[in-house]
Structures are given as C-alpha cells and as structure tokens.
Structure 1
Amino acid sequence: MKIPSGNGQTIRLSRGASLSDFGDKIGVNPASLVQVMMHLGEMVTATQSLPDETLQLLGEELKYNVSVVSPEDEDRELLESFSIEFGEDSGTDEDLRPRPPVVTVMGHVDHGKTKLLDTVRNSNVVSGEAGGITQHIGAYQVSTTVDGEERKITFIDTPGHEAFTAMRARGAQATDIAVLVVAADDGVKPQTAEAIDHAKAAEVPIVVAVNKIDVEGADPQRVRAQLTEYGLVAEEYGGDVQFVDISALRGENIDALLESIVLTSDAALDLRANPGMEAQGLAIEAYLDRGRGSMATVLVQRGTLNVGDSIVCGDAYGRVRAMLDEHGENVEHAEPSRPVQVLGLTNVPSAGDNFLVVKDDRVARQIANQREARERFAQQAKAARRVTMENWQKTLEEGERSELALLIKGDMSGSVEALEESLLKIDAGGDEVGIRIVGRGVGAITQNDINLAATSEAIIIGFNVRPEGKNSELADRMGVDIRYYSVIYQAIEEVEAAVKGLLKPIYEEVQLGTAEIREIFKVPRIGNVAGSIVRSGIVRRNAKARLIRDGVVVSDNLTVESLRRFKDDATEVREGYECGIGLGHNDLRLEDIIETYEMQEKPRD
C-alpha cells in the first residue's frame, strides 16, 4: 500500500506513541509503517512505544511535521477536557482570604535543621532516621503570637543531605519563604550555597537562622560577612534580609525567628487564597502503610479539602477516607497552607505530584488512568533506546556505551526519587559506562519487581524495604541480586564502586562436610580429640568448623587443627570413613556434629 505524502501537515503525538497511534492520525494501516521503518533500518513492531527521534524520523520520511506533546501540555489539555482549571484561584478578589506562609528549612547537613524543627514542634524526627539524616519530607503547622495576634506558619521539612537536591528544589517551589540554617561555628558550606541557589531560583524571600550560637568557636558575625558574598545582606548592614541568632538545642530565640518569618511574609508577600473552591495542591510525601494503605502528605494550596472528597493525585485517585494532622489526630477540613495526611488513594503518588478535587470518582479514575498510561508509554519509549545488561559485555568489547541496570524500591516516594536522581549523576568514567533505572516504586519488593529485574538483567536496590513473603527465595532462584540499604549515601557509594569496578570481593560460606562424634579421647598437652565418622562430604585439615549439639550451634569459629586416620596424619577424610578430629575445644559430647566449611570468594555479576 502506497502511503500518501503529508505535504508538511503537522500531527501531534503523545510521548511514547507507537506506529499504531501514528497510523490512526494519518489514516494508514500500521503494517505499512512497519515496512517503512524497516527501509529506514529500524526493526519495530506496530504497538511498540517509540522515542521522540524515531517518530520525527518517520515523519520526515512521510513529509509530516511531527509535534511530540510534552506530558505537561498533555496534562493541561486533559484537565481542560474536564473543564478543570489548575493552578489558579477561582472566584473574585473578595473571595480571597489571608493564608499562613509555607516555610522550607534549608542548609548544610548537620547544621541543625532537624533540631530546629524539633524545637519548633516539640517532637523528635532524628531518632527515627538512619544515620541521623532526614530521609524524607514531612510538613507541620505551628502557631506563634505577633503583636498580640495568633499567626500560623507551615513548615516543610526537606532533607539535608546533598543527595536530596531534587526534593529540596521542589520544596523551595512549593514554598513562600526559605529559612536558611547556618551553623555559627562552621560557616557557609557547599550545601548552604546550593540552598541559596534553590531559594533564589524559586524567587522566595530568605530568613537566615544562625544556629549553634552556644557552641565554642561560634562567630555569628563571620556568617553575616560570608553570606554578603552570596547577595544576602543583613538588615543591620543596610540590607533587606533578616538574620536571627538562635540555639536550636537550648531553644533560644526561636520566638524571634518565628516573628521574623511572619514579618518577612507580611512585608514581601501578599499571601491569599480562596478557601471556598475545590481543593488543589501538592503531594509532599507518600508511602505505603501495611495497615492503612497509601498514605500521602499533601499541602493544600487553594480551596478546602474535606473528608469524602474525590481526589486525583498524579496517577493515584480515590476518595478521602480520613485526614490526619502532624500529631496523628483526625481533621475534617484542611484550608489553604494546611498540610495533612490523606488516606484513601488507590496507590502511592510521587512526591511533587499535583493533587486536585474533582466532582466524582469516575472523573478521578479517568484522569488517573490517562496519566498512568501516559507515564507508562513515556517510560517504554525511554527504555526502547537504551542498552540492556544482556549486551553489556558485547557493547563494551565493541567500544560502545554500556549500562548498569537498576530497579529501585523504597519506603517513601521522595527517597526513591532522590536516590534515582543521585545514582543517575554518578560519574562512572566519562561515557564508557552508564546507569539505567528500569523501574522504581514504593513498598515491599514484589514478584513483579523480581520478574522485571530478571528480564532486564537489573540489580534491585531496596531502600528501607524487604521482599514480600517468599520473594527472597524467588530472587535467588531467578538469579536476581537484591541490595539492601538504610542510608542513601551508602547505596550511592556502593553503586558507584560497582560501576567503577572497585568493589572488594564478597566471600560466601561453602559447606564441606559433617562428622558425628562417636568417642572422645584425652590427649596430653592437646586436650580432647573427637573420634568421629564422616557423615557427609569431606572433613579437611585447617578448614573452619562449628560444633552442633541437638541442632543448636554451641561453638562457632573453630578450626580443624589436627586430622588423623588411625595413627597417620591426613589432609582430608571422605564420607563413610572414621577419623580423629582435634578442634582445640574441650567441651565435646558423644553424638555432637562437627560441621566443616570454608570461605570462598563469590564472583560478582
């Protein structure tokens, strides 16, 4: 069949579209397009998701101008089709009411951000964090009194480690004011400068909290001088940035800091929102709770969120079954700038996904399904143009790019995203070796994850999660390597070392054999020797051994110091033969089992 020329006609296709989608747009059988692609040297099927370049190559061949629609534009068009305006307050100016400022606490690791938030809200996050680093975003609302009037402030707690750049950037975008925490004894550090960049990019005012003023060597004036180089000039130096000297540990000057936040908000910002419209906002964090299902922390930016509302958040949807505040107590309504935990979503949204309330569950499901399909096609299109682990060695030999395939599962969507962002930034020796993320998700490692990892030859990175049920055995059977981590930079370091081939060898225990004690001989200057019969395998001199009594290990880390057959020394004794075994251990009993083993280096994949 001859395909008519497009004569420069423009057609719009979603990212990850297939030849079937292309054929539908121009009224042509997809099988003809498969033939065209073969002539162009590309072997693709009619239903395979294609990268943007391939779609445009086909368009040029057929004289069509292909416009690939970005996910953002597609989402905007999708919402418009349901007559939903996102990102704007509806109603008149009279409908707008003042709302509390949303504050992000930023700064270098270990400068006291988490301690400051602890002091502000009188709870402890650090005790639940591996390595003392905040691993995911939380949000909390606190009250303070300014000029005799109670004012509320919402804090978004973004993590401090440099691996969480993406989350911190997103936190700044959802933010009205950034509080920059700088330790008075340590001064400006790389992440301090990074935090300033994020705050400036988001065009938000900055309040500087100079922390640890009670520590020896503290010099708050030095911090002020250093920050002038970054364009943050204190009010006392003629600038417009409020600096507050605090001690988060002792709780000194915290009220002054809260007052500075309110005053900066009043002076620099006009924070108003319409609480009368249907709620819209942002998912700050989400994870899977075994008892309660998907738990998403959302920040209401406009409108009022009520229990019972139909909600769609990214590709998750559902009805709000319950809302919890930062203390775990139920709330019925959440007005603008209020962070709440929402129960009732079908699955776990990604941190940073927008949420909106729609008129009923049917509309929510339609929007979520279309978003999910779009994301899936986009992922397939990305995967289509990447090298897989199957031809890693071959492409390496041919001098082409090779890639390490990874599948990431974590307890929080923010952690998964941050880990992915950090792993993709690893410098693995120029363009020779790359890292490919074949999938990511929140919750326990499932059978589907292991199947995906097996087919794509990927290693599974488990961040604070473990396999469900017997999936650990399934992974062993299918030859899938699962690595577990609880601190993000350990994962980054190990993957980086694997990519660069710097990992130390892994040793695994290999059982040699077992022997049963039939008699015990006392030998002068040596101690007890076990007259034994080898029940399985072999017993080898100098091998590692452990003593087992009634199925319980009573002594470990032993060594076969001497091994004899009758009166002759032996190197090894096989199954069914009798021998004398000296372990340098005197607590021996009849019918004890001696298990021997050795440590062998395990080859890495």
Structure 2
Amino acid sequence: MIYTSFISYSISKFASLVLRDYFYLSDIYADNILELRSPKLINYTEIKSFNSSSGLPNINNVVNDTISPKQNKFEKKYKSSYSQDIVEIKKNKNKLSKKNRKTSNDALPGEIFIESQDELFNQDSLGLSLVKTNKLSKIKKKDKNKSGYFGNNQQVTNPLNTKNFVDQTDFVNNNNIVIDLPLSVQELSNKLNIPEAEIITYLFLQKGMSITINEVIDISTAKEVALSYNFNILKKEVTYQPNLVNNTYISDTSYVSRRAPIITVLGHVDHGKTTLLDSILKTNFVQKEYGGITQSISGYEIDYNYNSNVYKLVFLDTPGHKAFKSMRIRGAKVTDIALLVVAADDGLKPQTIEAIKYIIEMNLSYIVVINKIDKQEKNITRIKEDLANYKVISEDWGGDVIFIEISALTGQNIDFLLSKICLLSDTQDLFSNPNQLACGFILESYLNRQQGSVANILIQNGTLNLGDVIVSSNIYGKVKSIMDTDGNKLHSSSASSIVQILGFSVIPQAGKFFEVVQSEKEAKKYCLNHIDNDNYSLKLLNNRVNISTNSNVKQFKLIIKADTQGSLEAITNLFAQIPQTKVQIYVISANFNIISNTDIELALATGSSIITFNLNINAQMINLIKKNNIVCHNFNVIYDLLDYVKSCMLNLIEPEYDRNFIGRAIVQTVFNMNKGSVAGCIVNEGKLKKMCYIHVHRNNLLVYEGLLISLKRLKDDVEEVLSINECGLMCDYSFWEKLDVINAYELVQKSKSL
C-alpha cells in the first residue's frame, strides 16, 4: 500500500480529504508550502490530474490497484468488464514507472513526493544518471584493463552514442605511433584505441582478409590500417638501458669490495674481435669456430699485472653477424667497458654503427680499437673521420675517446690496450657486497641430455653458493653445480664472474635477470608475478597474416633444432626478416637438443623439413631420416642456413617470364589434318621459332595464346623460319582463319625473388 502525504502551511486554509486511507491535497493549497529541512526525493511520479484544470485524480484507478482478495468473487461476477480495466491499469502503471525513471533526475519543487518502503535512496543518488545500457556495461567490462577507445584525457560527452564514436579518429589525442613488429589485431586495437571489431571489419571489406582477433598481421598491413585512421607512422627510436646492478642495490655498504670490470668486445663480423681475445688470452679460439665467425656469446677471465697490482679482467666476446643482434644488446647491457673494434682495412660497417648506438645511448665507457694495422690497405685517417661523424672523436683530434691502434695477429700494442683498460676501470665505481644474495644476468642457456638445463650466467653482485634457490622470470631451481670458464667445479662464485650452473627446473630464457632468494616459497611467489614470453617471436612468425595470405601462398614447413637458446633466437629473428609475401615460413617446432623420434614422426605427419644448427646427429636418427625420405640438413654457420632456407623458398615460387617480341606472321590458308589444323603462314617480320610463345589476333582481338608446338618449312621440320618465308605451324588451336595475325615471343625467365 502506498502512503502519500502533503503538509499544508496555513492552518486557516488547511483542509484534508480522506478517501480509503489515502490523503490528497487540493492544488488550491499549493501557494504556501512548508519549507522542509533536508528533503529527500524518494521517487517521483508525474500525475497530471493534480492541475487545477483537471481536478482530483480518478479514485477508481487507485481503488482498483488495492483490491483485497475478498473482492475476487465480485471480480468474477463482473469479469467481462472489470478485466479490461485491470489490463488498462497495468499498462498505465508500466508507462508511469518507465517515465518515472527517465524524469527522476529533473524533479521540480512543486512536484509530488511519494514515500515507499521498497525504494529508498539517499540524497547523493539524485545526481546520478539512471540511464544505462547493457551494451555499454559489457564494453566497459571487456576493456577494464585497456586505456579505452579514447585518449587518456579525452572525455565522452554522450556515452549512449555508441553508433558512430568508433569511426572517429579525432578522439585520439596523439596520432603518432610506431609499428615496427608484426602484431595481433588485439594489440593493434590497443595501440590505436580502436575496437577490434572495427579493424576486422575494415580488413574484410577493404582488403578481403578474413581474420580473427588473435591472428597476427604483418607490418605493412598494420601500417595501412593505421594510415586509414589518420595516424602518423613514426620510425622506432629504441633507447637501451644498461642492466648493471648499481651501488644503490647494495644493501650493506660496510662490506663492499671492489669487483672486476666486465669488458665487452663489440664490432662488425670479421673485424678481428675473437683474434684480439686470442691474443690477450694466449688461446686459439678462431681455429675452433665454424666459418671463422663467432656465433654465440662467450665469457673469459684473465689476471693481468699492472703497476704491481693484479687486475682480474672479464671479457665477453659477442658475434658480429646481423642475426645475433640480441646477443650484442645482451653484452652491451651488462658491460662496464666496451671495446669497439674496427678493421683498419674495412672501416665502419652496419654492426659497427649499431655498436656505437648502444655505447652512446647507454653512456658506456669505451675504447676504440683499430685492428689490422699490419694490413697494407689500412686507412686510419678515414676511419677517424667516419667515427667523428658519430661524435666519436679521438684524443689527438681534441676529443675524449681513447683510440688504440693494434694488430691482434702480431700482438702489436696488446699490452698497451690492457693497461688502458686497467686505468679506465680505476676511474669507475665498481663495487659489490659479497655478503648479499647473488643476482645477475643469464647470458646463454641450453639443454644437456645428461645434466639437464644448463645456464651460463654473469654474477653482478653478491655471492652464489651451491644449494642456493635461484629464480629467473617464471622459473626457479636449486643450484646443483657451479663451473667456471676453465671447467673447474666451484662451491661458490663472487661478483663479476661468468659461471655455468645446473639447477633450473626448465631452460631459463637467455637475456633475463636472475637472483637468489631465501626459500622456495619466496621463489614461487616471485614466479607468480612474472609472465612467460618464451617463443613470442616464433608465434609472431607463424601467425602473421598479410594481404596476400588469403591467396594460395605456399608454405615452407620447418622443424628447427639448435644447440642453444641464443642460436634459436637468432634463427627465428632472421627468418622474421625474410619477405614472405610469396612463400611463408611455417615453423612446426623449434627447440634445442638433438633430433628425437618425436621430431621424425612430426616431420612425417606435417611434411616438414628438418634443419639443425651446431648439432651432431647420431647414426640411428640418420637411418630413420633416410628410411622415411625426410629432408634434413645440418649447418654450423648461420649464413649457410639462411642461404639454404631462401633457396628452398625460391624453389617453391612458380617461374615468371618476360616476353620478348621476335617476329610476326599472317595466316594465308588453313589445312585440316588428323592431328589438327595447320596454319599456312608467311613471316613478314622477324622470325618464328619452335616452342616460342605466340599470340593470335583476329580483328585486333586476342583469340589464343600458347606455345608453337610444330614448325615446318616445305616438308621439313625446322627450328626457326626467317622473314619473307612461308611456313606451316601447329599448336593447341584449331580455329584458324585466313588473315589471322600471329605475334611470336621468346620467353625469358625472370630471376626469382621473395
């Protein structure tokens, strides 16, 4: 039951009307209203019958709303007339309730207040909009973790207007974006602040691409989508930050001690980086490397006497081939001193410039080492001029960069270089706390069948002991073995040491940070806060879609086996740089360790080729491969592997030809024979050749094109007929007519390209 009350201001004019427990106030008493303190609007119903022109409300409607169960007999008696009234009342009631919700925000002072125990709202709720749609709430739930469809500072004036707002790019404050990698539709949606459905619709209608939200599109397609929404595509400017453990991370400075410097050797391939280390370490690593190039990141330690002090120097050798960019970045991030090696006879090359970029952006201390000064073709002045263009100016030219000219082959100036390294390390604050738990960087990782997961790590601070719980990214383990670069087993290892450890439950990701924690419970908690991004580049490679993907693009299916994670990373990154508009590389499986029976079965089931890198294949697997006619190749040099993959992709491309005009003939008569029709022609320009490509024109319309199968001069088969001679020719065409024009072309195969 609803109780409605109105309080009058004037006692002299007070009047009340009581009708079946309902109280109404006539509109003649609305002139003086008692001022209410802290009024609350519970609900508002607009009743037009309170106007003076309308008089009192229809009491019958109110009564009918509250009929007691005892009146059911009366209702049944007059069911025919009463039921219609009930239907009308219900309709009116529904309309009123809907109207109440729409107008509850805009109640006026002279309007009615209705008190109900079912709906109680506080005063603060008066300012809230009750207009909501289920569709908008779903969108908000879906994108609660996203930045939204609009820029961070952009406000939507009308949230209900969801029909056209996705098509407007003016809502995005910043229209400058960087697209430098293939990315999924969802990732592109987040980057552009445009709904995924909008992008999928655009690609389907404009490009004929039918894709899903999780499929990856290539860079060119993503840029086309961005440009269609008026975005500006910018070139990526990557800023690299060093990963050194700073002194601020040393918890107790009372126990700090000086640590050895980490020296990373950077430079272009074949500029003498490994030869330089051979000369320093008195070793012969160059002869042991396949192809004479470094294809992994390696660490070495030496003790050097300088000014009656023994300096421990830790060297990192990085590969110079373009495929190993990740390894070079890894080395640059952990280094204290960089050695930029430049060949005196070769000058600055792409990887030299790349190394300069890392050095400048990370603000590294460095020495420019000009190698191969024993060569006759050396041009040191040109090298200094080229380096000056990158703001690398030597001390003798007025700069502050140390330049040292050496010959790694003959050992010239090697001691001078080492002394400069010692002096430069003395100027740096290189400290560590041996009492802290160890932390550092994973340089490389791989799987050993006898030992399990192996990781080559660089300890940057603290001390690593046997039995320590070590954690990296989302994996952890207990250290079971520590081995130095000479193969000696250790019980512990201090800062600025490169060691090989066993103990991770699975193979850790190279390039990730590691640290030692107090317990396995803490390690598990650490892992929960980290996401596994392994094989992300492989997923991008396999799932990317381009405009031509919907056509019959051939796939080159591969199973890749590599020796280490760094090698596998370099191979997949190298494959991602190969154009794949005509043939797409599809990597069925990629992991490290030797070929197994599972790989053989997978290759048979998918029709894939197997390529291995720096691995030995046992005799049993070789026999299985031969027995099942599986294509399998082993490579020890990465550019040989790249050349092979490109060659296989080119073989899958259908040949294309250029047509060179060689002659023209006119049909004079037609002979019908059992084998087909023969066109008797006269060659009036150039020549006709057997197996040339011909176009037959009639009334300037092309009626046939194909190969000329047979060519005769008189009764003899000939290879060619020159101009102003008659001949007979035959091809897969029988509808010759007199005066048909035959244009002859020589097909020249185009060089295939990806």
TM-score bracket relative to the smaller structure: 0.5 to 0.7
Q: Which residue of 2 aligns with 1:319?
A: 478
CA distance in 1, matches of 2:523, 2:604: 34
1:5 alignment partner, SS class: helix
Q: Which of 577, 581, 592 is residue 442 of structure 1 equivalent to?
A: 592
Q: Which residue of 2 aligns with 1:410?
A: 562
Letter in 2 for 1:324: M
Partners of 1:51 and 1:381 within 8 A in 2? no
Letter in 1 for 2:455: A
Q: Which residue of 2 aligns with 1:574?
A: none
1:338 aligns with 2:497: yes
Letter in 1 for 2:346: D
1:121 aligns with 2:281: yes
Change (3 A) 1:176 1:402: farther
Q: Which residue of 2 aligns with 1:463?
A: 613
1:486 aligns with 2:636: yes
Q: Which residue of 2 aligns with 1:303?
A: 462
CA distance in 2, matches of 1:409, 1:120: 34
CA distance in 2, matches of 1:102, 1:211: 21
CA distance in 2, matches of 1:384, 1:181: 37
Partners of 2:258 and 2:431 within 8 A in 1? yes
Partners of 2:456 and 2:499 within 8 A in 1? yes
2:327 alignment partner, SS class: helix
Q: Which residue of 2 aligns with 1:47?
A: none
Letter in 2 for 1:411: D
- TM (norm. structure 2) is 0.51
Residues 31-70 of structure 1: CA distance to partner in whole angstroms, max 9, x if unpaired?
xxxxxxxxxxxxxxxxxxx974599799988xxxxxx9xx
CA distance in 2, matches of 1:342, 1:465: 21
CA distance in 1, matches of 2:299, 2:387: 27
Q: Which residue of 1 aligns with 2:412?
A: 252
Change (3 A) 1:162 1:273: same
Residues 371-427 of structure 1: CA distance to partner in whole angstroms, max 9, x if unpaired?
6x844796897589446xxxx9xx979537665343321112221111221121123
Alignment coverage as a number of residue pairs: 435
Q: Which residue of 1 aligns with 2:326?
A: 166
1:150 aligns with 2:282: no
State the 1:433 CA deviation. Answer: 3.6
State the 1:490 CA deviation. Answer: 0.7
State the 1:116 CA deviation. Answer: 0.8
Change (3 A) 1:400 1:233: farther
Q: Which residue of 2 aligns with 1:537?
A: none
Residues 258-282 of structure 1: CA distance to partner in whole angstroms, max 9, x if unpaired?
2222333444x43333332211111
Change (3 A) 1:456 1:368: farther
1:421 aligns with 2:573: yes
Q: Which of 103, 110, 113 is residue 263 of structure 2 equivalent to?
A: 103
Q: Which residue of 2 aligns with 1:399?
A: 551
Change (3 A) 1:219 1:7: closer
2:137 alignment partner, SS class: coil
Higher mean C-alpha displacement, 224-233 vs 212-221? 212-221
Q: Which has the higher strand share?
A: 1
Residues 457-496 of structure 1: CA distance to partner in whole angstroms, max 9, x if unpaired?
5433210225567555666677754332111001111112
State the 1:168 CA deviation. Answer: 1.1
Map of 1:577-592 to 2, 5 A cutoff? Answer: none
CA distance in 2, matches of 1:453, 1:364: 38
1:212 aligns with 2:372: yes
CA distance in 2, matches of 1:321, 1:162: 36
Change (3 A) 1:243 1:383: closer
CA distance in 1, matches of 2:385, 2:288: 36
1:8 aligns with 2:143: no
State the 1:139 CA deviation. Answer: 0.7
Change (3 A) 1:396 1:265: same
Percent of aligned pairs sharing the same letter: 36
CA distance in 2, matches of 1:288, 1:342: 12
CA distance in 2, matches of 1:459, 1:370: 38
1:163 alignment partner, SS class: helix
Change (3 A) 1:398 1:140: closer
Partners of 1:288 and 1:442 within 8 A in 2? yes
Map of 1:81-100 to 2, 5 A cutoff? Answer: 89-100=249-260
CA distance in 2, matches of 1:504, 1:322: 54
Partners of 1:446 and 1:468 within 8 A in 2? no
CA distance in 2, matches of 1:454, 1:351: 31
Q: Which residue of 2 aligns with 1:65?
A: none
Residues 276-319 of structure 1: CA distance to partner in whole angstroms, max 9, x if unpaired?
22111111122333443333210011221112212224455332
Residues 312-359 of structure 1: CA distance to partner in whole angstroms, max 9, x if unpaired?
244553322221211111222222221111123333323212222122
Letter in 1 for 2:611: I
Q: Which residue of 2 aligns with 1:285?
A: 444
State the 1:220 CA deviation. Answer: 3.4
Letter in 1 for 2:634: Y
Change (3 A) 1:377 1:493: closer
1:419 alignment partner, SS class: helix
Residues 522-580 of structure 1: CA distance to partner in whole angstroms, max 9, x if unpaired?
xxxxxxxxxxxxxxxxxxxxxxxxxxxxxxxxxxxxxxxxxxxxxxxxxxxxxxxxxxx
Q: Which residue of 1 aligns with 2:389?
A: 229
Partners of 1:494 and 1:503 within 8 A in 2? no
Change (3 A) 1:503 1:493: farther
Letter in 1 for 2:384: R
Partners of 2:582 and 2:653 within 8 A in 1? no
Letter in 2 for 1:420: T
1:273 aligns with 2:432: yes
Change (3 A) 1:216 1:415: same
Map of 1:552-571 to 2, 5 A cutoff? Answer: none
CA distance in 1, matches of 2:403, 2:505: 45
Change (3 A) 1:479 1:261: same
Structure 1 unaligned blocks of 5 or more: 14-49, 62-67, 69-85, 506-605
Residues 75-119 of structure 1: CA distance to partner in whole angstroms, max 9, x if unpaired?
xxxxxxxxxxx9872414445433222111111222211011112
Map of 1:502-541 to 2, 5 A cutoff? Answer: none
Q: Which residue of 2 aligns with 1:534?
A: none
Change (3 A) 1:122 1:344: farther
Q: Which residue of 1 aligns with 2:5?
A: none
Higher mean C-alpha displacement, 490-499 vs 464-473? 464-473
Change (3 A) 1:453 1:356: farther
Residues 233-268 of structure 1: CA distance to partner in whole angstroms, max 9, x if unpaired?
11111111111121212222222212222333444x
Letter in 2 for 1:496: K
Structure 2 unaligned blocks of 5 or more: 1-133, 147-183, 198-213, 215-244, 656-754
* Greater Cα radius of gyration, structure 1 or 2: 2
Aligned-CA RMSD value: 3.8
Change (3 A) 1:121 1:347: farther
Partners of 2:538 and 2:572 within 8 A in 1? no
State the 1:185 CA deviation. Answer: 2.7
Partners of 1:408 and 1:420 within 8 A in 2? no
Partners of 2:542 and 2:586 within 8 A in 1? no
CA distance in 1, matches of 2:372, 2:397: 22
Change (3 A) 1:217 1:332: same
State the 1:498 CA deviation. Answer: 2.1
State the 1:231 CA deviation. Answer: 1.6
State the 1:169 CA deviation. Answer: 1.8
Letter in 2 for 1:8: K
